[in-house]
Amino acid sequence: MTAPKTFRIGGDLEVRRLGFGAMHLRPETAEDRATCIAVARRAVELGVTLIDTAHLYGWGANEDLLAEALHPYPADLVIATKVGIRHTTSGEGWRHAGEPADLRDQVDEALLRLRLDRIELLQLHRLDPGVPIADQLGALRDLRDEGKIGRIGLSEVTVAELAEARAVVDIASVQNRYNLLDREHEPVLKACEEAGIAFLPWRPAAAGTSGARSSQIAAIAQEVDATPTQVALAWLLAHSPAVLPIPGTSSVAHLEENVAAGAVQLTEDQYERLTK
């Protein structure tokens, strides 16, 4: 099976479908920081053109690190980030932050950290249940119209929430948990595919650790001379042209393994065995 190598987010922003999730780049020491910077730079060297980050990842530290590692950015590199969550010292350590004024502040803060004049893909990390969807998406629409945002995405939404958001503004991407062994959000993926919306699965490389399912993955990995992780990513790429996997790691070796999954070719039979 031959899957398309690229996707146009929002219909015009072309990226390679196999991207990189930067959430694991959270250094605690100077040595860790050097390794994390090396991983980010190696991703670009390997041809990755879509890197996903968020304010939540280290409360801005992840965005700072990417800017340190990669700025000035290559012309074809898209840094996608997320807003809509703030740090708190109580409870789970975070809270929803979808008030329009807060979203505007968060976007301005992200622009400063990433050293950008415009964020080409800005995603709402979570819908705030205490704020009308129209108000949240309306604020991002206004920021888009002002030129601070290029395209707007969502994360962890249902089909109904996606439809409600699209009634307010064009949605370019959706980021939900999804992988070969966890397809809870298949209806959302299908809705995205039908609408030409990019679907960025987080936790995309889950390949299982026991039972018949992981045995089947391991068997096919042996057949195609690849790792189980590569097979799981190759299945995602074959499953829908709208899927843009963003596997994350803090290891150069794992990064290289993940990116190499783009070259793994599954036969129709292997794809069907995995799908079943």
* Residues annotated as catalytic (active site), given as ranges: 57
**Rounded Cα gap, residues 197 and 178, in angstroms:** 15
Q: Residues 6 or more apart from 138 whose CB is under 8 A from it?
A: 100, 168, 169
HEC string for the chain: CCCCCEEEECCCEEEECCCEECCCCCCCCHHHHHHHHHHHHHHHHCCCCEEECCCCCCCCHHHHHHHHHHCCCCCCCEEEEEECEEECCCCCCEEECCCHHHHHHHHHHHHHHHCCCCEEEEEECCCCCCCCHHHHHHHHHHHHHCCCEEEEEEECCCHHHHHHHHCCCCCCEEECECECCECCCHHHHHHHHHHCCEECCECCCCCCCCHHHHHHHHHHHHHCCCCHHHHHHHHHHHHCCCECCCCECCCHHHHHHHHHHHHCCCCHHHHHHHHC
Cβ(107)–Cβ(83) under 8 Å?
Answer: yes
**Rounded Cα gap, residues 108 and 170, in angstroms:** 21
